[in-house]
Structure 1
Amino acid sequence: MSTWQRVTAAPGGKIGRFVVFIAWIGAMLAAGVLGGDTDELADDSPAGRLPASAESVFADQLAEERFADDGTEPLFVVYQRDGGLTADDLTAAETADTALQEHAAPGSHTPDPMPSTDGEAVLLVVSLPVSDLGESGLEDTLDAIQPILDDHPDGLTVAKTGPIAAQNDMESAFSGLDETLLVVTAVIVAVLLLITYRSPLLLLLPLVSVAFAIQATKGLVYLLAKYGGLVADSQSTGILTVLVFGVGTDYALLLIARYREELHRHPDRYAAMRVALPRTIPAVLASAGTVILAMLTLLVADLGPTAALGPVAAIGIGTAFLTMTTLLPALLVTCGRFVFWPAIPRVDEAAPTRHHRLWAAVARLVARRTRTVWLGSTAVLLALIVGVSTLSTGLTLADGFTTKPESVVGQELMAEHYEAGRSAPVDIFTRADTADAVAAIADDTDGVDHLLPATDSIDGDYVNIRVVLSDDPAGSAAEDTVRRLRAALDAADPDAVVGGSTATTVDLNATMDSDLRTIVPLILVVVFAVLLVLLRSLVAPILLLVANVLSFLAALGAGALILNLIGHATIDDNLLLYSFLFLVALGVDYTIFLMTRAREEVVDKGHRDGVTHALTVTGGVITSAGIVLAATFAALIVMPLVFMLQIGVVVAVGVLLDTLIVRSLLVPALSLDIGRRTWWPGAPSRTGTTTAPNDAERQPVA
């Protein structure tokens, strides 16, 4: 046995398994002592995501450094009734206004209740001492305010809105959701494992191993977020849970399939694992390495959470790989053959399984109708791409939740009955000597309703001009107004900056667009380089990469049709980036598993028989792995954000397309049609035979 085999087989050995158990128990204890709740460190604020070069970030710095801050933020409350407010409604609003002022910052100026001109609404404003309260204190204050607002006549709509309410809704939406997502994902994986293996005992071992991987990953992420400057948000931690679950289970399926295959050949379970583990690790390592390198391309992103997702996901993938190649084999050999009950594998009982018979039939079809299969598969994928035309970009905050939160309801009511931009004015910071010219330009800009009184900086060098927009500050029309403002102000004062929540959204969209154009080509380069090294071929990597890009576009089109049906067809650039990353990086996994096995088989069987045999023996396990991964990403539909739901739909559809069409039909058919040139310039040579390449090509399918 070589050094590689001895090292890689050690976790499944009689002594090595105990070393593994001790190491993992120690790791879990360390994670429990040093780690913490990653949700406590999550930064879900839009401003926390932007690079320092963003104009809205610079505006925030000017406000903090040069202008007096009383530490308050306004909370808006809208009382509204269709057809007009009644006397009881107005009394309830006035009573609530008096009670709300008990929570206002001392000395703050609060306007009287403001009725709308149509008589259907009244607006209350209270200035809360945000700086003094802190995050937990503000949450307690909003909880204390809620009973005041709940006391109103039937049929009256009451809603809190403004930046404070929006941030509170965001935090409430994610509260406890990580645990929900974990349970949903675990149930999905458990059911699929039970269907796959029909063994109630066997499904527990991958779940236990994944649980260890998730706990270790969260511990490492927590330490990096707390001490290493890592920026994380609730979206990243949600994706991380699904990613580790899906990828970890995939690796487990591959190992278990190879281990069960060897149990039919070896009476000793340790001997079976000594063969199975070293033969499984190279493909799993290649897969994990490809995904890790692809994830690390996100480090060049300008958007904070996107850049943070790179190392976070890389840690998750690495931990999943380590767990499934150490802890899982140790658990398998410790439990023995009985873990496969009731279908316990016995020596000399390795008759073709139902799955092998099915995939042998698929392989024969691909071999007999090679060109028809790959042309037909390509036609299906191209047809699905048409669905991309039904997508639209520009997902706004108001449309970003799967269910409309209270702050969005309140903002819509304000937009209907008052100046739409009252709750979130745009801030313009300019030099004092150009303030009048800047104010005149701003007032004349299309989409501006009116200007609020200007405020001088502490040193008198700058002026803050607040602008109330005509449109909903969370909508695309308001974003267009901000862009017009910035373009117009460049002529009057190139140093003038535009900030506020709407400007922050504009900068977020611009940053996402820039990241998309930068990272997508980088992902392609990284994946191609890995395939080049792994397959020692130029043709095969090009073939696989083109197939996976085609699969991504088809997944986007098919996903678009589903998103249109459920009413969420408006997307942002991050959906394109994340779905491309996951589908190309994870999708190429399955072709790696297929093609590495094909390269191994081609050496002894020739190209044609090698490819078809590889499809036969890997078809069942890879399809099972693809279905598991698709189902785990589909679990993201329980998340409250439309973006997360869209990621779940597109990636789940894409993984299924990649598993059932690209890896099962398109890639093997193209490989057979191209022939041995697939491996050019380093084509594998047959051993122990003098058969010419052309003869090998004509050999029948086994």
Structure 2
Amino acid sequence: MSPEWVADRSSGYEAGVRGIHRSMDAAIGSPGDVGRGRLRWTRSVRSFSFALVHVLTSRRGAWVSLIIGILILLGLIGAFGRATTAASNQSAPPNSESVRVAALTGEFPDADDRTLLVVAAAPDGAELTTAQNDGLERLADALKGNADARVLGPFASDDGRAAVVQVTAAVGGDDAHAERALVDEVRGVVHGHGIDGLTLQVTGGPAFGVDVASAFDGADFTLLLVTIGIVAVLLIVTYRSPVLWLIPLLVVALADQAASKATTALGAALGLSFDTGIVSVLVFGAGTNYALLLISRYRERLVAEPDHRRALAQAWRATLPAIVASNVTVVLSLLTLVLAVIPGTRGLGLACALGLVIALAAVLLVLPPALAVCGRGVFWPFVPRVGETRDRGRVWRRVAQGVVRRPWMPLIGGLALLAVMASGLLGASLGLSQTEKFRVPSESAAGLTVLSEHFDAGQAQPFTIVTRTESQDDVAAAAEAVPGVVRVNVATTSDDGALARLSVVGESAPGTAESRALVGQLRSAVHAVPGADALVGGQGAVEVDARDGNLRDFLLIAPVILLLTFLVLTVLLRAVVAPLLLLAVNALSAIAAIGAGAWLGRALFGWDALDLQVPLLSFLFLVALGVDYTIFLVHRARTEARALGTRNGMVTALATTGGVITSAGVILAGVFAALGLLPLVTLGQISLIVGIGVLVDTLVVRTLVVPALFAVLGDRMWWPSRASAGANGSDAQESHHDVDRAPARAGA
């Protein structure tokens, strides 16, 4: 082991180990077996850290490490390259009443039937003419050309301005390919038998599924290209080098592809459903942030260290605690989603956690040898030179000095801004209807809109009741007695004759508060029928169960996320006051971003409501990713405070990390903005909220509010431990004059 490396005492890791030594010595008292065990453990960890970074950065070890790392990533891509996950549109909890009804329908003889509706209406809203009605009759005859199809209609609306033809055909279970073939066949016949003056649209459940799948055709590849483009442009602007940006981008891109294949294989093995676009965005965003922090510290050390390999090793050890703590915080937060009852939410947590672990490994184990191989010249044309005195953080230093000198104005102003943003939640509502979930127009959504305008609003999405056959009359009577029910029809009985299925049409339009209330009234009425064991399902009931499940998930998981984040901050900072205040500010920032996103969504994009999953996922991403920047800043502030005191330490920390944190925040916001390209409003809302939140967190919270808090409380932020090494570094020795003269230590 190189003696020069052992002698390096500026490492954040070394400082962290010394702090742990002091804390444990104070707690244990006189040394004993426990103390000797602790010393052996810390020495082992330190030795492993030095040995590992030596392998990663030495002349021969860097090449070996780089080749092995690339081969492992390529091996993951190759090993899981053919893995696929089954698409799932289940939005309600698996044990909910609506899902149980859907499962019971498999016991009926028409379980494999799929129903499509051909909706006809004049664009100008005129009544259908005799010739147009005759044309619809001919269209119905043409649709009967499929021997397996059962065609009913056309049925005219009461106002005579629309008509509908119902087409029912059997498909092979839940085979998505068979459903797409059915929809394509029906649409082909409809479009081949156009009727003058009428718009013909095919809608219904299978049509919605096909339109969603079609909207995503090629979308993941487009998302990948746009994400790479955004990261590339922002890295070029950040580094101002035609070469350097390629190295972290290639490493993170390889990690993204490996994570994509590995998470897909995980989903296939565990039967999980999740959005792969969110996984890719997180891997790119977090991986690039880790790389920015490491390369920024590497640039600092190159000014003080002539050997670029030794400088890289020092930077790796100095940033290791912050990067690992950041990753652990986000991964643990994501793993809390396993507590969710909504399938898509639970699957997303495991997939994203695995993706971020792969991103962490790539940045810590593949990026350093790549930088070591390339040498100092990779920063061309702005190559750091030993002894260079230019202070790159002078703008951030002036900002920090101003905040620390007069902290109350930025503190109150920043908190007031967050409160104003949070007020956007006033008047916000939750839940998107089936037609509102599309960001781009679709034939199925347009057809459903026309159907609800001219027929009984509830006919577009009737409710389904499954009950015991002997109780079907009593259940039907109980359902008909519910206010808001238009009619109840007994559809069929199960294969064994034990169950009966009823169809219920309500007055209220799907997705409305009245429709949700009707579900509750129906359930209360039919559950009261003795011995019927009646259950209410259908799309309207699914939305009610999904709403309840998402609310339950938010109320359970959000506090757990906050608790885990607090524990990670407490361990990293070895304090209680700072983690509590930082977490409170971070949570307020997340709520403010959700409020601002809800208001902007209504004002700019016409999104009248947030989708059910948006509050929880946005809160998780904002809290977990926002803590990243807290860790980057405050971990550096604690390191600097040992020599400079808390207030001067915060000035130096903001001066040295302000640029990298801002760059990381802009890149992360840009990467999340790419989610807006995908066709679902849900992803667009997450993109908008997280983008706003990351920028506000970077430019306001980390730049103004957090430094102001440290200026107001000083060393009390570190209670019950102490940050200062001695009296000379304590806040008692600091003054505003000292803050103004805080040294600009580029390599601190």
The TM-score bracket by the shorter chain reads: over 0.9
Cα offset for 1:33?
3.2
Residue 211, structure 1, aligned to residue 253, structure 2? yes
Cα offset for 1:88?
5.0
Cα offset for 1:466?
1.4
Query: Alpha carbons of 1:247 and 1:29: their partners in 2 closer, same or farther (altered >3 Å)?
Result: closer
SS at match of 1:159: strand
Cα offset for 1:559?
1.6
Cα offset for 1:297?
0.7
Superposed counterparts of 1:324-335, under 5 Å = 324-335=363-374
The worse-fitting range, judged by mean Cα deviation, of 381-390 and 294-303 is 381-390
Distance (Å, rounded) in 1 between the aligned partners of 2:351 and 2:465: 37
Residues 163 and 424 of structure 1 are in contact (CA less than 8 Å); yes or no, is this contact kept in structure 2? no
Residue 579, structure 1, aligned to residue 622, structure 2? no
Residues 9 and 275 of structure 1 are in contact (CA less than 8 Å); yes or no, is this contact kept in structure 2? no
- The letter for the 2-side match of 1:405 is S
Candidates 181, 185, 206, aligned match of 2:227: 185
Cα offset for 1:619?
0.7
Distance (Å, rounded) in 2 between the aligned partners of 1:524 and 1:602: 26
Residues 675 and 683 of structure 2 are in contact (CA less than 8 Å); yes or no, is this contact kept in structure 1? yes
**Paired position in structure 1 for 2:488:** 451
Residues 366 and 668 of structure 1 are in contact (CA less than 8 Å); yes or no, is this contact kept in structure 2? yes
Cα offset for 1:473?
3.5
**Paired position in structure 2 for 1:14:** 59
The worse-fitting range, judged by mean Cα deviation, of 135-144 and 322-331 is 135-144
Residue 259, structure 1, aligned to residue 298, structure 2? yes
- The letter for the 2-side match of 1:532 is T
Distance (Å, rounded) in 1 between the aligned partners of 2:661 and 2:723: 23
Residues 425 and 469 of structure 1 are in contact (CA less than 8 Å); yes or no, is this contact kept in structure 2? yes
Distance (Å, rounded) in 1 between the aligned partners of 2:389 and 2:608: 49
Q: TM-score normalized by structure 2? A: 0.88
- The letter for the 2-side match of 1:181 is L
**Paired position in structure 2 for 1:499:** 537
Distance (Å, rounded) in 2 between the aligned partners of 1:677 and 1:328: 38
Cα offset for 1:438?
1.2
Residues 9 and 277 of structure 1 are in contact (CA less than 8 Å); yes or no, is this contact kept in structure 2? no
Candidates 130, 137, 140, aligned match of 1:97: 140
Residues 227 and 281 of structure 2 are in contact (CA less than 8 Å); yes or no, is this contact kept in structure 1? yes
Residue segments in structure 1 that go unaligned for 5+ positions in a row: none
**Paired position in structure 1 for 2:266:** 224
The worse-fitting range, judged by mean Cα deviation, of 416-425 and 209-218 is 416-425
**Paired position in structure 1 for 2:87:** 43
**Paired position in structure 1 for 2:557:** 519
- The letter for the 1-side match of 2:504 is V
SS at match of 1:160: strand
Deviations 1:536-558 (A, max 9, x none): 00100001111101111221222
Distance (Å, rounded) in 2 between the aligned partners of 1:420 and 1:658: 44
Query: Alpha carbons of 1:226 and 1:299: their partners in 2 closer, same or farther (altered >3 Å)?
Result: same
Query: Alpha carbons of 1:102 and 1:10: their partners in 2 closer, same or farther (altered >3 Å)?
Result: farther
Query: Alpha carbons of 1:399 and 1:690: their partners in 2 closer, same or farther (altered >3 Å)?
Result: closer
Structure 1 stretches of 4+ moved >4 Å? 689-693
**Paired position in structure 2 for 1:128:** 169
Residue 542, structure 1, aligned to residue 580, structure 2? yes
**Paired position in structure 2 for 1:685:** 724
Residues 338 and 346 of structure 2 are in contact (CA less than 8 Å); yes or no, is this contact kept in structure 1? yes
Candidates 674, 679, 684, aligned match of 2:713: 674
Cα offset for 1:42?
4.3
Residue 388, structure 1, aligned to residue 388, structure 2? no
Candidates 385, 389, 398, aligned match of 1:361: 398
SS at match of 1:681: coil
Distance (Å, rounded) in 2 between the aligned partners of 1:383 and 1:612: 28
SS at match of 2:117: strand
Query: Alpha carbons of 1:384 and 1:219: their partners in 2 closer, same or farther (altered >3 Å)?
Result: same
**Paired position in structure 2 for 1:143:** 184
Residues 264 and 347 of structure 1 are in contact (CA less than 8 Å); yes or no, is this contact kept in structure 2? yes
SS at match of 2:496: coil
**Paired position in structure 1 for 2:9:** none
Superposed counterparts of 1:616-635, under 5 Å = 616-635=655-674
Identity %: 40
Residue 323, structure 1, aligned to residue 366, structure 2? no
Residues 646 and 730 of structure 2 are in contact (CA less than 8 Å); yes or no, is this contact kept in structure 1? no
Query: Alpha carbons of 1:8 and 1:314: their partners in 2 closer, same or farther (altered >3 Å)?
Result: farther
Candidates 588, 591, 601, aligned match of 2:630: 591
Candidates 377, 380, 386, aligned match of 2:414: 377
Residues 74 and 258 of structure 2 are in contact (CA less than 8 Å); yes or no, is this contact kept in structure 1? no
Residues 509 and 573 of structure 1 are in contact (CA less than 8 Å); yes or no, is this contact kept in structure 2? yes
Residues 642 and 729 of structure 2 are in contact (CA less than 8 Å); yes or no, is this contact kept in structure 1? no
SS at match of 2:630: helix
Candidates 325, 330, 342, aligned match of 1:286: 325
Residue segments in structure 2 that go unaligned for 5+ positions in a row: 1-5, 7-45, 743-748
The worse-fitting range, judged by mean Cα deviation, of 446-455 and 146-155 is 146-155
Distance (Å, rounded) in 2 between the aligned partners of 1:555 and 1:213: 29
Residues 288 and 321 of structure 1 are in contact (CA less than 8 Å); yes or no, is this contact kept in structure 2? yes
Deviations 1:447-483 (A, max 9, x none): 2221123423333332222112223345443332212
Cα offset for 1:681?
0.2
Cα offset for 1:622?
0.7
Cα offset for 1:581?
0.3
- The letter for the 2-side match of 1:339 is V
Residues 34 and 223 of structure 1 are in contact (CA less than 8 Å); yes or no, is this contact kept in structure 2? no
**Paired position in structure 2 for 1:158:** 200
Distance (Å, rounded) in 1 between the aligned partners of 2:162 and 2:519: 28
SS at match of 1:112: strand
Query: Alpha carbons of 1:474 and 1:7: their partners in 2 closer, same or farther (altered >3 Å)?
Result: same
Residues 463 and 540 of structure 2 are in contact (CA less than 8 Å); yes or no, is this contact kept in structure 1? yes
Cα offset for 1:128?
2.1
